[in-house]
């Protein structure tokens, strides 16, 4: 039996790869993007299988319209892949107020609006799967990505709560935590702060480290995500790629070590 996927941010990166791979499954796909021209080829590839809808997740009226289009076209929605987002690059004091707010408007509030608009559909049919794309930076943070990390930490936080809240209705939630892949994340989709000269050594160190990373393959990443989604009991957290898997394990291990180191002092508060 074919399923219906609603995927945000399908013009590039993981979103586009999801659509391309799902074309071979017989499932129905509602592909969304801010610019319909950027995804017109996806519909042309399989007009009966793909519906495209304009969606800027910061515009509630477009969220509502895209969800309604999905239901009108295919009757329901079974899986929502909340993929739309971008990275804000810079040091904490370099960001403008507008940049900080927009980062959360897209990565956090936009995702929440998609979830809240589709939730009545999932509750009515007593099934559904939210796939909320976070990041390795939703578990640990590095200089230059403080606000991006903050937005992904927020995604992790509300996703954990909603998973417990919605499970009684037969609704699944998975937080996807990709590592570093060959995407447009560090390309045209990235937004930049105006750098201050005193941070030049930090920027240099970041770029050197980034260039040295063995970046993952987008196609393999999405293939792994689809395999996870198709599993009978998908996890709450799904690190994608070796950098994410090992990096998150290391970060959580260090957190536990820190808790243990300061536990005697902490327990004085009881």
Handedness of CA 47, 223, 215, 180 (dihedral sign): positive
**In the numeric block, which tokens belong to residue 212?**
């040295």
Residue 134 bears catalytic tag: yes
Decide if 152 is catalytic: yes
Which of 11, 152, 159, 172 is catalytic? The answer is 152
Catalytic site residue from 11, 134, 151, 159? 134
For residue 218, give Cα distances in angstroms to 107, 179, 221: 20, 11, 5
Active site residue 123: no
Q: Which of 69, 62, 61, 63 lies closest to 30, judged by CA?
A: 69
Q: Active site residue: 17, 95, 148, 151, which one?
A: 148
**Which among 39, 48, 44 is positioned nearest to 17, based on CA atoms?**
39
Separation between Cα atoms, residue 54 and residue 57, nearest integer Å: 10
Show which residues are catalytic: 134, 148, 152
């Amino acid at each position: 039996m074919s399923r219906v996927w609603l995927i945000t941010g399908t013009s590039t990166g993981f979103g586009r790869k999801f659509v391309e791979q799902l074309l071979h499954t017989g499932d129905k796909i509602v592909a969304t993007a801010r610019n319909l021209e950027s995804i017109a080829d996806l519909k042309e590839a399989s007009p009966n299988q793909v519906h495209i809808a304009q969606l800027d997740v910061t515009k509630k009226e477009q969220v509502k319209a895209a969800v309604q289009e999905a239901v009108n076209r295919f009757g329901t929605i079974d899986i929502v892949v909340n993929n739309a987002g971008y990275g804000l690059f810079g040091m904490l004091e370099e960001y403008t107020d507008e940049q900080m707010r927009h980062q959360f408007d897209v990565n956090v509030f936009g995702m929440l609006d998609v979830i809240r608009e589709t939730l009545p559909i999932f509750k009515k049919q007593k099934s559904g799967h939210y796939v909320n794309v976070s990041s390795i930076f939703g578990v640990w943070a590095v200089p230059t990505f403080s606000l991006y990390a903050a937005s992904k930490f927020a995604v992790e936080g509300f996703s954990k709560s909603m998973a417990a809240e919605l499970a009684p209705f037969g609704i699944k939630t998975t937080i996807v935590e990709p590592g570093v892949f060959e995407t447009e994340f560090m390309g045209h989709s990235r937004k930049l702060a105006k750098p201050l000269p005193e941070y030049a050594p930090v920027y240099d160190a970041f770029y050197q480290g980034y260039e040295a990373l063995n970046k993952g393959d987008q196609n393999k990443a999405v293939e792994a995500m689809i395999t996870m989604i198709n599993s009978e009991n998908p996890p709450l957290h799904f690190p994608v790629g070796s950098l994410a898997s090992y990096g998150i394990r290391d970060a959580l291990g260090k957190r536990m070590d820190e808790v243990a180191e300061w536990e005697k002092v902490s327990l004085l508060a009881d």
